[in-house]
Structure 1
Amino acid sequence: MKRTQRLLLSLFSGVLLSLAWLGFPGWILFIAFLPLFAVDKYFVDRKEEYRSVSFWGHAFLTVFTWNILTTWWILHATAVGAAMAIITNSFLMSLVLWLAHVARRRFRSNLGYICLTVFWISFEYFHFHWDIEWPWLQLGNGFANDVKIIQWYEFTGTFGGTLWVLLLNVLIFKLLVQLQERSAKREKIVSLVSIAVAVVLPVLLSVIIYSNYTEQNNPKQVTIVQPNVDPYSEEYDMRAEIQKKENFLKLAASVSDNNTDFIVGPETVFENPGYWNEGNLQTNGFVRDMKNFMNNYPRAELLFGVSSFKIYNSKAEATLTARTSSDGMTYDRFNTAIFLDRNGNEQVYHKSKLVVGVEKMPFMKYLGFIRDIVINIGGTTGSLGRQKEASNFVSADGTRVAPVICYESVFGEYVSDYVKKGAELIFIITNDGWWKNTPGYKQHMSFARLRAVETRRSIARSANTGISCFINQRGEVSQPTPWWQEAAISGTVNTNKELTFYVKHGDYIARVALFTSVLLVLLLVVKRFR
């Protein structure tokens, strides 16, 4: 195999991996690694001739292509940030593939591919939990627009999808090798049957679940507001904020009625944190006007996003992210969801999963001295404060709703924490305007469908510039709003109190893979020194 052929095969794998994020069917992922596997086999078969690092460059080309084709839209916020995100993620992915290649050189074929599977799943799990979280390209996310075939995510979460993709790539590649090498007929039949079972059984199970799943009839009528404020050009003075409030209430009134239970607005409806001191929300003029508006609708309760701040009485109470003003005031800024209930109470939730480089400086404990060097994308910036865990809002009638803010909707296990704590509905509030008209906002919306299946919770999604929509407990989207247009929609969603297997047990597949990876790495080290 010539070098040019190897590079083309590596590039082709990257393109195939990208397609599921660009609107193509997720099943393409079942063959996406095959070209790269051919390159891997070439170097394994010639391990006396080539060092393992020879494969690393090809692996990097594959994942770099995948990253740049699917997440190039980050450059709308910052070209430097996009380059850093794409190159860093590609480097980490290529290291995982290289380590699996080393295992293939050391172990027999089957154990080598087991290493690939558990190493990759462990890497994805790591990307959910370290301080530079970026699980956007988790393989299981590739089925976000194919919910009819992944209803079993209620048992496995998206890591079940990752395992499915890797298993089928390995099985199909083994069959192709057997055909090329003219292996025994029995071996080829076993491989063919294994592939058929691995494809048909999950799909059949999913279709059965999909056809038989019925939501309990516990309706709540929800109004979703899409104000369509351009995050790049909006103003933040009092006049501009008042205009945003009036426009928001006008849109909400256009579709609300006496049966409306909830009115949901997007992330950071109000951007200027100076007007949102959490210590005096009861006397806040915006809150007062919102409550007066609610008096027109006897059942309605209101959820919306703001940029807020909280003052600490002393520096001893302050967090690592706290700031000190010129007059000595110590305070934190937050990306906040506010809930106004029928009893006149204000409830507050602070976004926990913050966007790296936009809302937080990673490794703040060690890099606090550069915490204000972050990307300005037209909203609240700087290293924000956050709360440590998910918490729900409780309505006047006792209904618990999960306020999921923007990036948090990508984290399956985190969203399941709301449900463990009693959430019966999920409200996702986001501002995707900074991505502009790119695949980014479509990908983000599609991930919400996965959360609906995993938790079997109905979702109302309010996005500042779109796509706002309702998602039922089977992951089906209704009333999607147009991109970059003012809109307001009203619909009925059903509450649910039942807990899925995934909600109860979380990312158990990843934890098993992580434990297995540690054992296999230790075995690799032992073999190296022996």
Structure 2
Amino acid sequence: MNRWLPILLSLAGALLLWAAWPTSPLTFLIFIAFIPLLRIADLVPHRGKYFGCIFLTLFLWNVATTWWVGNTTVPISGVAANLINTLLMSIPLLGYHRTRARVGQTAGYFALIVYWLTFEYIHLNWEFSWPWLSLGNVFAMHPSWVQWYEYTGVSGGTLWVLLSNILIYQAWLLRKQYPVPLGTFLWKTAWLPAAVVVIPFLLSSLVQYNFKAPDGPTVRVVVVQPNIDPYDKFAEEHERMQLDKLLALSAQKVNGTTAYIIWPETALFTHGVWENKLAYEDETALIRQFLRRYPQATLVSGATTLKRYDVADEAPQMARSTEDGTLRYDAFNSAIQLDTSYVTQIYHKSRLVPGVEIIPYARYLSFMKKLALDFGGITGGYGVTPGVELLEDTRTHIKVLPAICYESVYGEFVAENVRRGANLLFVITNDGWWGDTEGHRQHAQYARLRAIETRRWVARSANTGISCIIDPMGDIQQPLPYWKEGVIDANVTPGNTFTFYVRFGDLISKAAVAFCIVMILYSFYLKFRFSMPNS
């Protein structure tokens, strides 16, 4: 039994983490899901065997929760993503195991929290970024539990999870080591982990009780879900048919009071449109003709845009070239804003999906830049040259962040744009690549956390679902089911106040990074000191 116990603990840890993750209703299991990993560290001193055990847990957790990444025409993408993410997740746990062996259990627990928060922060800010399984995301289905995210962001949830697991595990060890009457145990030992679990719930209720919704005039938004198969929509002969469908669906809800019409990611110009000619394209003219019937309305839509560089020195290093080499250009996953005028605004997606929209650090390995997976339409990766920061309606001075798909998972990125003046958040996405799996459901739930962190209304337009409206408390309104076309309209209030998180960003993660650097430097100091010969 002792021989197989670490393996059984590995399987139990994976099962608990999977069962706790959205969209499972068993979220509360996250407060004990890391305990098997902590126990393995106590039972397995050998670093190689320990790595094998934690790798098994983390790999099974990744596969069970994000297997859908491979549910595409390129299944190997899912295998690669799960393997790479498992290896990266192993690093903070290996660091914990090493620290615990060298300086003791208490310091090891502190190191675990610091290392894991640092890992999540790095995983949000480099080109291999995959923050889908950041521990604080686990509470996305329960906004009433984490209203205090307006102060801490998702990293506060990560800290809550890790600290709760450590304290519950320590209480169990003490109970096992020193058997005492249950009442004595509860009074002297169990109160601390209980308090750490319960107090955030109370704080959330307090924040919710004192919350004041954004005041001021409302604006009417119309969100369209066209339900176009993502594997068919990039056929060139379908572009006009898709535009007609989007216009027809919009007409069902648009009226003279509509301020915004929102279409999903890559709804327009699936094969690319030159940005300098966008205002004069036939499709743009048809949209402008439609909007003249509703002069107060502005369209925000996903599109694929192309930017040419007539001067060679202006072209980024990773820009594309035509076959004859006479033209350098970039392709962008964009959001465009159109109204009845000839003025267009173009926002470029900047948080790109590794392997699909960008090959990480390909500028250092230029031969790799053509390896981006083909999901239809533009292949070879997207450009990252900035467009406009926000889409602004010059008539109402409302500024919109049109977070494109993956960008809505990045709390600090969204907060930075709110700090720049975004009054409303639009999420435009095309989640249909992965079919009717947990992928699109998890993605929709994560948007609720952005609403809480920034206290902004969110309007979400998803090609095949789930389109919805999310209020500043994180509550979903009027969700449209997956694989069903439809239109929703709602009145939303542009926000003008800043939360603590918007003002100061992710302070918890930054503090963890600082502690991590200090700990690493100190370990080098100790190694150098004890390697010196005695004088």
Amino acid at match of 2:156: G
Larger CA deviation: 208-217 vs 451-460: 208-217
Structure 2 letter corresponding to 1:314:
V
Kept in 2, the 8 Å contact 1:179–1:188? The answer is no
How far apart are the structure 2 equivalents of 1:234 and 1:281? 20
String of CA shifts for 1:138-184, please: whole Å, max 9, x gaps: 00000000100100000000000000000000000000000000178
- Are 2:387 and 1:392 equivalent residues in the alignment? no
- How many Å apart are 1:66 and its aligned residue? 0.8
How far 1:59 moved relative to its partner? 0.8
Question: Any stretches of 5+ residues in structure 2 without a counterpart?
Answer: 531-535
User: 1:383 is matched with which residue?
Assistant: 381
Task: Give the Å deviation of 1:321.
Answer: 2.4
> Conserved in 2, the CA contact under 8 Å of 1:231 and 1:433?
yes
Distance 1:525 1:513, change over 3 A: same
Matched residue, 1:468 = 467
Shift of 1:192: 1.7
1:58 to 53, 57, 60: 53
1:424 — aligned with what? 423
Runs of 4+ in structure 1 off by over 6 angstroms are 183-188
Contact 1:291 1:340 in 2 (8 A): yes
Is 1:146 aligned to 2:142, yes or no? yes
**Deviation, structure 1 residue 80:** 1.3
Distance 1:188 1:363 in 2: 53
- 197, 200, 214: which is aligned to 1:199? 197
What letter is aligned with 1:444? H
Q: Secondary structure at the match of 2:345?
A: strand
Contact 1:178 1:188 in 2 (8 A): no
Are 2:464 and 2:485, in contact at CA under 8 Å, matched by a contact in 1? yes
Query: Does residue 1:251 correspond to 2:252, yes or no?
Result: no
Distance 1:340 1:505, change over 3 A: same
Worse-matched range after superposition: 316-325 or 176-185: 176-185
Shift of 1:445: 0.6
SS in 1 for 2:133: coil
SS of match in other structure, 1:365: coil
What is the deviation of 1:514?
0.9
Structure-1 separation of matches of 2:387 and 2:58: 32
1:204/1:246 CA distance change after superposition, 3 Å: same
Could you say which residue in structure 1 is the equivalent of 2:12?
Answer: 12
Does 2:94 match 1:98?
A: yes
Equivalence for 1:230: 229
Contact map agreement 1:390 1:414 (CA 8 A) in 2: no
Indicate whether 1:76 and 2:75 are aligned.
Answer: no
What are the within-5 Å matches in structure 2 for residues 275-286 of structure 1?
276-286=273-283
Check conservation: 2:55, 2:86, Cα contact below 8 A. Answer: yes
SS in 2 for 1:121: helix
8 Å contact 1:224–1:265 — kept in the other structure? yes
Q: Structure 1 residue 368: deviation in Å?
A: 1.6
Match in the other structure for 1:365: 363
How far apart are the structure 1 equivalents of 2:344 and 2:366? 32
Structure 2 counterpart of 1:272, from 270, 273, 286: 270
Name the amino acid aligned to 1:54. Answer: K
Offset at residue 314 of structure 1 (A): 2.1
Q: Does 1:308 align with 2:288?
A: no
Q: Is the 8 A contact 2:234 2:271 kept in 1?
A: no
**Structure 1 unaligned regions, length at least 5:** none
Alignment of 1:98-497 (within 5 A): 98-182=94-178, 189-215=187-213, 216-237=215-236, 239-274=237-272, 276-327=273-324, 328-341=326-339, 343-388=341-386, 391-395=389-393, 396-497=395-496
Indicate the SS of the match to 2:495.
coil
Distance 2:246 2:314 in 1: 36
Tell me the SS of whatever aligns to 2:257: coil
- Deviation for aligned residue 1:217: 4.2
1:106 maps to a residue whose letter is: R
For 2:247, the aligned partner's letter is L
Provide the identity percentage.
39
Aligned pair 1:507/2:506, yes or no? yes
Q: C-alpha separation between the residues in 1 aligned to 2:269 and 2:166? A: 49
Please give the TM-score of this superposition, normalised by the length of structure 2: 0.94
Give 1:3 shift.
Answer: 2.7
- Cα 1:187/1:367, change in 2 over 3 Å: farther
Deviation at 1:342, TM superposition (A): 5.2
Partners of 1:7 and 1:379 lie apart in 2 by 45
Residue 313 of structure 2 aligns to a residue in which SS?
Answer: coil
Query: How many Å separate the matches in 2 of 1:456 and 1:483?
Result: 26
1:437-456 superposed Cα distances (whole Å, 9 cap, x missing partner): 00000011111000000000
Contact residue 401 and residue 426 of structure 1 kept, 8 A:
yes
Deviations 1:453-474 (A, max 9, x none): 0000000000000000000000
CA contact (8 A) 1:25 1:146 kept: no
Q: Distance in 2 between matches of 1:157 and 1:224?
A: 27
Q: Secondary structure at the match of 1:381?
A: coil
The answer to whether the Cα contact below 8 Å between 1:103 and 1:524 also exists between their aligned partners in 2 is no
- Distance in 2 of aligned mates of 1:250 and 1:519: 59
8 Å Cα contact 2:347/2:386 also seen in 1 = no
Cα distance in 2 for residues equivalent to 1:322 and 1:291: 31
Once residues 235 and 109 of structure 1 are traced to their aligned partners in structure 2, the CA distance between those partners, rounded to angstroms, is: 55
SS for the counterpart of 1:433 is helix
**CA-CA distance at 1:257 after TM superposition:** 1.0
SS at match of 1:255: coil
How far does residue 189 in structure 1 lie from its aligned partner after superposition? 3.8
